[in-house]
A and B are shown apart, each in its own frame.
Chain A
């Protein structure tokens, strides 16, 4: 261990092993992942996010929402005789999703923000759970108004407080006097807030696909031949 070049060589080789194994290997496997075909309808999943939602993803990134909110459903499949019975785990039981997240859910996103810590709720399917735009806007303005006891900060800087001229504008938040609305003033969402809500509403990763089927509703089935094939692993590719 006194010969410099030998140490360099060892250091580079051991690291190259990791780089080629983990990074290059997974790029070979997933680098060209295409939208999946939904078995039930034959349509493609996922669709690219519409313009406002794509802008909203930038707001989500800029304000670091992912430091408290994850976007990944984790669940273990329970399989009986080759058929998916149900998914185990708190995420599904909590109603955050009906199936685990898989690689295909994220192919259109840049950056992908799955998060690593659940100080707030998981948002992988928030667009399924809460479809009301006004609810989301009010929640961003002051979370405690719609979710008492919430530990989320308010995002007042995404809103504009304006003096009401003659009458309230159409998109002003419908805040009651006891929710802290000052008389003579109205709270109007800035374009950033509207875009962020469009992004949140676009978070719907529930489509059952080949590698992540949804469990069938318990009902008598005559034959197994048409049932959805089951893959327990969320590996994402064939």
Chain B
């Protein structure tokens, strides 16, 4: 990535802007976000590694059921949710929030406010994730997909989030650049949607519980929105920022971005309750309609990105960091289309309880969310360290590991699901034989999860190295205490 670009080619006023008190330069903005953002990157990379390891163990168990089965906390039904939650809350949400904070400060030309509070809140968030992953492995999982973290950890998470979110909003509020770039809309929207979704789950499922199938509706709705209106907008914000940067061109169309944003806001909030679920039919119908119409938002985004990159694809692709963004956006398009097609295919054919759903969510998490966020981490970290000449190593290798891993994990499951669905519809076929048909697909998925794990290791090493370098450059040459005072005292 062209991290050396210090002036913001995207905003209409690239020069530093005169504020009430002082002129804020990009270097100052980066210095103010260094501590919280790098801390979140390191911890996110740690959770990505932990989640990938647990994911690989779970994947092995799909075709070798007796692998590690004698230990209660390593049984498949605990490892799988622990892996998903570690990736969703430990890695994706945390890295997403870090990117969001950095984008808000950079695009708004404001110093990060309350960096010390954010650091404390980040630690709380990670204590919450650790309690949650540990709780799930100990058997305290709640039983609601995507929200397995027990109450004692989700409460900590919510408090951590509220502090991080509040200071991101305060930083946003004090911005000196008044024109809002599309990334800012997505960040602000995600920051509003997440607490609503998460609080709904806590209040209606975990701390008290609605009756019967209402739990399915709440969990399905919230699980969908966690992906579609929390992770996706954070990742889209990063993509909207870094794609034009990589192309060294302005975004093709702001109007198309506005259009795509509101389509996501309106249609993205419905989904997660497939037809055939034992709930009132209108709920499933609304959810399916939302999924199909939501494709318009995906298409608007993909068109905008394509038109921005048109003619410069080859040049952008040769940049090792920008590969992550192109591949990630491609995965987003594929996931949207697969979801819409499987909704249409499932009309009048409800028996679709196959591994395809797992494959699609893996493609979303490992293909779209992880690739773009890893790319963002690689683009942002060198800018936060004072030694800008330092480059992350093995970025190309990391890309191929992560990208091929995502394809090998998800595609076999998606295709295997169709095979499984056909077999399930044939009652003459013994159920054991149905399961046997899926085993080869699970085997390929395990190979993919191994690649993902190696990729996560490269990321972890790189991020730790950068944090160490920037810690050396700031905390050994400067006194840390004065630095924090300076940050929290500025821009008030």
Contact = CB atoms under 8 A, between A and B. Distances in A.
A and B physically associate = yes
Interface of A: 1-2, 4, 7-8, 10-12, 14-15, 17-19, 21-23, 26-27, 29-33, 61-68, 70, 72, 74-76, 89-91, 93-94, 100-121, 143, 147-157, 233-237
A30 to B, nearest CB: 6
B283 A26 contact: yes
Interface in B12-70: 61-63, 65-66, 69-70
Contacts of A101: 278
Contacts of A76: 348, 350
Given A111-B143, A153-B61, A234-B278, A68 B76 contact: yes
B216 A114 contact: yes
Contacts of B62: 119, 151
Given A18-B270, A114-B278, A147-B432, A152 B189 contact: no
Best-buried of A64, A66, A108 by chain B (most CB within 10 Å): A64
Given A62-B140, A67-B80, A94-B427, A116 B353 contact: yes
Given A1-B258, A18-B269, A19-B196, A26 B217 contact: yes
Contacts of B217: 22-23, 26
A130 to B, nearest CB: 13
Contacts of A155: 69, 75
Contact of A4 (B188, B200, B254, B276): B188
Interface of B: 61-63, 65-66, 69-72, 75-78, 80-81, 139-145, 172-173, 178-180, 185, 188-189, 192-193, 196, 200, 204-205, 209-218, 221, 225, 229, 254, 258, 261-262, 265-266, 269-270, 274, 276-283, 286-287, 348, 350-351, 353-355, 357-358, 420, 424-427, 431-432, 435-436, 438-439
B266 A235 contact: no
B192 A22 contact: no
Contacts of B180: 1-2, 4, 7
Contacts of A75: 350
A182 to B, nearest CB: 15
A151 B213 contact: no
Nearest to A157: B72
A211 B238 CA distance: 48
Contacts of A90: 351, 424-427
Given A22-B221, A110-B209, A233-B281, A11 B188 contact: yes
Contacts of A2: 178-180
Best-buried of A11, A106, A143 by chain B (most CB within 10 Å): A11
Contact of A237 (B196, B280, B432): B280
B415 to A, nearest CB: 15
A6 to B, nearest CB: 10
A74 B350 contact: yes
A151 B69 CA distance: 12
Contacts of A14: 262, 265-266, 269
A12 B211 CA distance: 27
17 contacts: A2-B178, A4-B173, A18-B225, A18-B270, A61-B142, A63-B75, A64-B78, A72-B276, A76-B348, A90-B351, A100-B278, A106-B213, A108-B212, A118-B420, A153-B69, A233-B281, A236-B278
Contact of B77 (A63, A91, A234): A63
Contacts of A67: 76-77, 80-81
Contact of B209 (A11, A70, A111): A111
Given A30-B213, A90-B424, A112-B216, A119 B286 contact: no
A155 B213 CA distance: 29
Given A2-B179, A15-B196, A153-B61, A109 B286 contact: no
A117 B196 contact: no
Contact of B353 (A10, A100, A117): A117
B277 A64 contact: no
Nearest to A90: B425
B280 to A, nearest CB: 4
> What secondary structure prevails in chain A residues at the interface with B?
loop
B136 to A, nearest CB: 8
Given A8-B192, A11-B188, A153 B76 contact: yes
B351 A89 contact: yes
Contact of B212 (A64, A94, A107): A107
Contact of A64 (B141, B196, B354, B357): B141
Contact of B76 (A21, A61, A64): A64
Given A66-B77, A68-B76, A117-B355, 10 more contacts: A14-B269, A15-B196, A19-B200, A26-B214, A62-B139, A111-B205, A153-B66, A156-B69, A235-B280, A236-B279
Contact of A103 (B72, B81, B200, B278): B278
Contacts of B279: 26, 103, 236
Contacts of B189: 7, 11
Contacts of A236: 213, 278-280
B412 to A, nearest CB: 14
A57 to B, nearest CB: 9
B193 to A, nearest CB: 6
A19 B221 CA distance: 9
A106 B278 contact: yes
Contacts of A15: 192-193, 196, 229, 265, 269
A63 B78 contact: yes
Contacts of A11: 188-189, 192-193, 265
A110 B357 contact: no
A68 B277 contact: no
Contact of A66 (B143, B204, B276, B355): B143
Contacts of B140: 62
B75 to A, nearest CB: 6
B188 A111 contact: no
Contacts of B438: 119
Nearest to B223: A116
Contacts of B205: 111
A143 B269 CA distance: 41
B192 to A, nearest CB: 5
Contacts of B213: 30, 103, 106, 112, 114, 236
Given A112-B216, A114-B216, A119 B355 contact: yes
Contacts of B216: 106, 112, 114
B218 A23 contact: yes
Nearest to A108: B212
Contacts of B65: 143, 150-154
A103 B287 CA distance: 17
Contacts of A154: 65-66, 69-70
Contacts of A147: 432
